[in-house]
């Protein structure tokens, strides 16, 4: 995605904007895995920018969604990023 491309190029604000635009679309479509992935990316970007207080609830929500949809390995991986 465009967010992923911006992320790997360290263009964090552009990446966050892309993910924030995609998130309501994923929610509207009911694509929970994509929603969780998007939240995880937003949380990781917050960590990369030193914004722990923003990262924690976002990563926690992503992990919860992964649990609900039956992806415990991805949930655990997401939790491993929590500070």
How many separate helices (H) and strands (E) can be counted in the chain?
A: 5, 0
Q: What is the pTM of this model?
A: 0.91
How many angstroms separate the CA atoms of 37 and 50, rounded?
20
How many angstroms separate the CA atoms of 47 and 59, rounded?
10
Share of the chain above pLDDT 70, in %: 100
How many angstroms separate the CA atoms of 15 and 27, rounded?
18
Token representation of residue 57? 């609830």
pLDDT above 90 for 72: yes
Tens-place pLDDT, residues 52-69 = 999 999 999 999 999 999
How many angstroms separate the CA atoms of 42 and 6, rounded?
12
Residues 11-27 have a mean pLDDT of 91
């Amino acid at each position: 995605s465009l967010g992923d491309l911006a992320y790997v190029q360290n263009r964090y604000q552009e990446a966050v904007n892309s993910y924030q635009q995609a998130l309501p679309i994923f929610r509207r479509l009911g694509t929970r895995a994509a929603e969780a992935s998007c939240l995880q990316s937003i949380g990781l970007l917050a960590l990369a920018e030193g914004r722990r207080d923003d990262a924690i609830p976002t990563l926690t929500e992503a992990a919860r969604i992964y649990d609900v949809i039956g992806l415990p390995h991805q949930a655990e991986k997401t939790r491993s990023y929590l500070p």
